[in-house]
Amino acid sequence: MAKVFFSYASEDRQAVDAVYAAVVEAYPDHEPWMDRYEIVAGNSLIEKIADGMDVAEKFFVFLSSTSVSKPWVRRELRRAIMREIDGLDSDYVVPVKLGDLTKVPAFLEDKVYIDLGKLRKEEWLTAFDAAIRGEPTRLADAGHINNAQHRIDYGPEGHHVAHVTFAARAWAEPFSFAVETSDDMIPSPPGPPLMEIDDILAAGAGALRNVRFHKSARLLALSFESPELRPGQPRAIRIEFAPGIDAMGAIKAVGRWEPSR
C-alpha cells in the first residue's frame, strides 16, 4: 500500500476532499494522508504532520492562489523540497494545480504538474496513480459519472413553482441534467428557464462545448462540456406550473441526461 501526503490550504479543503475521496475509491491500494482524517484533539500538530510526511512515498502539494502564500503549506513544501535536495527521493514532490492559479512557483517550474482545471476525472485520477507508482498507467474507468448534484425547493412565488438547484461534482467532466414532470410546465421564453447559457458562463463554466438543449411541456434537459467547469457554484432553474398544481409532486424525476448522438 502506497502512502501519500496531501498538502493544501484550508480554503481549498472542499476541492482537495473531493480528490481524496476519488483517489481512495479508484485506487484502494493507495493511502492518502490528509490532516483532517489523521489528526485528533490533543495530538501535536507538528509531530503528526512530520510523521505523515516521513512515511509518505509522494508529497502532493495543491497549489492555488491562496495556498502558495500560506505559511503552513510553504513550511511543508520547504521540508519536502529538502528531502529531494538531500537525495532521498528526487521525485517526491508532485505539484497539483487548482483552477484559479495562473502560474506555479518558480522553484517548481521544472516539475510536471497535475492540472485539475484542464483534466477530466479519469485523466487526473490516472495522473495521480502514475505519479504514486512512478510509471504510466492506463486510464481509470470513469464509467458513466453523474456529474450533477441537485436540490429541489418550493419557490417563493408559491407551491406551484419549484426551484431546482444544480452543481457540478467534479472538474471538466461532461455536465448534464434532465427534469421530467407529470404535468405541463408553463411555457417560458426560448432557452433554459432562468438559466441562460450566459448565466452558466458567468458562474465559471467557461467556454462550452457540445451544448445540447431540449425543452418540451414535460421535459427540460441540458448537456455541455467545459474545461473550466468547477465543483460547487450552484445554479437554479425555475419550474412553474399552473396555480393549484403542487410543483414538488409534479416533478417525476431529476437526473442525468444522455442525449442521443
| DSSP string of the chain, one letter each residue | -EEEEEE--GGGHHHHHHHHHHHHHH-TTEEEE-HHHH--TTS-HHHHHHHHHHH-SEEEEEE-TTGGG-HHHHHHHHHHHHHHHTTS-TT-EEEEE-TT-SS--GGGTTS--EETTTS-HHHHHHHHHHHHHTS--PPP---S---EEEEEEEETTEEEEEEEEEEESSTT--EEEEEEESSPPPP-SSSSTT--HHHHIIIII-S-EEEEEEEETTEEEEEEE-TT--SEEEEEEEEE--TTS-HHHHEEEEE------
Answer yes or no: do 8 and 74 share one domain. Answer: yes
What is the C-alpha separation between 10 and 224, in angstroms, rounded? 31
Find the mean pLDDT for residues 116-138: 78
Is residue 138 assigned to a domain?
A: no
Is residue 140 assigned to a domain?
A: no
- Residue 246: what pLDDT? 92
pLDDT reading at 28 higher than 50: yes
Boundaries of domain holding 167? 148-255
Find the mean pLDDT for residues 207-224: 77
Cβ neighbours around 215 below 10 Å, total:
17
Answer yes or no: do 117 and 10 share one domain. Answer: yes
pLDDT level of residue 252 (50, 70, 90 thresholds): confident
- Domain of 55: which CATH number? 3.40.50.10140
Q: Hey, what's the cell of 110?
A: 521544472
CA angle 160-166-167, nearest 5°? 160
Is residue 65 assigned to a domain?
A: yes
- Residue 188: what pLDDT? 63
pLDDT reading at 139 higher than 70: no
Q: What is the pLDDT of residues 30-78, one digit of tens each?
A: 888 887 766 555 555 678 888 888 888 999 999 988 888 888 888 899 8
Model-wide pTM > 0.75: no
Answer yes or no: do 103 and 182 share one domain. Answer: no
Answer yes or no: do 93 and 186 share one domain. Answer: no
Domain boundary among 133, 156, 176: 133
- Does residue 76 contact residue 62 with C-beta atoms inside 8 Å? no
Considering only 18-32, 47-61, 165-179, 216-230, which range has the smallest mean pLDDT? Answer: 165-179
Is residue 173 assigned to a domain?
A: yes
Is residue 143 assigned to a domain?
A: no
Answer yes or no: do 53 and 154 share one domain. Answer: no
Q: Is 143 left (phi over 0), alpha (psi -120 to 50) or beta?
A: left
Is residue 79 assigned to a domain?
A: yes
- Residue 194: what pLDDT? 46
Which whole-number Å values give the CA distances from 259 to 176, 206, 212, in the listed order? 9, 21, 7
Spatial CB neighbours of 135, under 8 Å, sequence gap ≥ 6: none
pLDDT reading at 205 higher than 60: no
Is residue 142 assigned to a domain?
A: no
Is 172 or 22 the better-scoring residue by pLDDT?
Answer: 22
Domain boundary among 68, 101, 133: 133
pLDDT reading at 101 higher than 80: no
Considering only 17-26, 101-110, 139-148, 227-236, which range has the smallest mean pLDDT? Answer: 139-148
Q: Hey, what's the cell of 50?
A: 512530520
Domains of the chain: total: 2
Considering only 51-55, 96-100, 105-109, 192-196, which range has the smallest mean pLDDT? Answer: 192-196
Is 130 or 88 the better-scoring residue by pLDDT?
Answer: 130
- Residue 60: what pLDDT? 93
